Amino acid sequence: MSTQPQVKKGYVRGVRGVVATAINADGTEKTPAATPYGIRTSPQVAVSVVQEGGASTVLRGGDKILAYVKDPDTVVAVNLTLQNARLDAAAIATLAGGTLIADGTSVIVGWRAPTIEAQQNPPYFRAEVYGESYGTSGQVEGYAKYTFGFCRATFGNETLQDKAFVIPEIKVECFENPSTSLGVYSKEIVATLPTELS
């Protein structure tokens, strides 16, 4: 492990967008390479870890505890709640499957949910979430990039309310990629946004 100091401070603010790239169900890259899809209108991406509690054992004797052993808790997955400020049919189809609805001129006008049967083989993708990274003087020093290497999603909840914008949600489950030796996700500071968000 490196002992070099972290030069960029990484005070992260806001969300600039999400990039999803389709991958195979075994975690390998598609051939030919899939085209990444950018979601620029995401006002929030909530990240929550899924943790399995370690087993514990208590040894008692003489009406008291003699020994207590507990295995470590283990993070096994991460759940994302992705909000999108607009009805982005192509984004929903990329992440959660389903069918795009086109008008007579093949212009996309909507999305149709996948059937129960189709949901048994969901699309898999790699997700990258970007936020702005600031230094100690408030200067932008780059972008915080969160990478989730093996994801699948379901279309989520939305509320239609009088005189209020509708913010659709997509629920994303992220796991360790079975084709790599990497963990569930990573964070790094990069210099530029990808072209899908520029």
Mean pLDDT of the chain: 93
Confidence of residue 7 (pLDDT cuts 50, 70, 90): confident
**Statement: residue 1 has pLDDT above 70:** no
Number of H helices, E strands in the chain: 1, 12
CA distance 139 to 144: 14
Of 77, 89, 95, 87, which Cα lies nearest the Cα of 18? Answer: 95
Mean pLDDT of 43-65: 94
Asked whether residue 136 carries a pLDDT value surpassing 70, the answer given is: yes
Per-residue pLDDT tens over the stretch 15-45: 999 999 999 999 999 999 999 999 999 889 9
Q: What is the pLDDT of residues 177-197, one digit of tens each?
A: 999 989 999 999 999 999 999
Q: Residue 98 has what pLDDT?
A: 94
